Amino acid sequence: MHNEGDEVHLSAEEASGGSKEGVVRRVLAIGLLLAILALSLIWITGALSSSDPEADNASVGARMAAEKDQATDAAAPAPLAT
């Protein structure tokens, strides 16, 4: 800080009241990377431990078809015995 007449001249570091080292930027970047890694690890391990999604969809489709067949069988009139 130095004075030139009535004017006070400050450096950027003195005017901001702190240093300009970029510590906050580094902390945010590291935190972001750690969050991405943690969520990716959770997603990947979940995907690896689950069963085949196509098989799950097939079983759901088969169950729905069976329920539909049961509903149509129940709604259809019984054949008359002769």
Per-residue pLDDT of the chain (82 residues; tens, 9 = 90+): 667 777 888 777 777 776 677 888 999 999 999 999 999 999 999 888 877 666 556 677 777 888 888 877 766 666 666 6
Instruction: Report if residue 14 sits inside a domain.
Output: yes
Instruction: Report if residue 82 sits inside a domain.
Output: no
**pTM of the shown model:** 0.45
Instruction: Report if residue 5 sits inside a domain.
Output: no
C-alpha distances (whole Å) from 34 to each of 17, 30, 40, 68, 72 are 30, 6, 10, 49, 55
Instruction: Report if residue 80 sits inside a domain.
Output: no
Domain of residue 54, residue span: 10-73
* Calpha distance 67→75 (Å, rounded): 12
Neighbours of 44 (CB within 10 A): 10
pLDDT value at residue 61: 73
3-state class (DSSP) for residue 2: strand
Instruction: Report if residue 2 sits inside a domain.
Output: no
Instruction: Report if residue 1 sits inside a domain.
Output: no
- Give yes or no for a contact between 27 and 18, defined as CB atoms under 8 angstroms apart: no
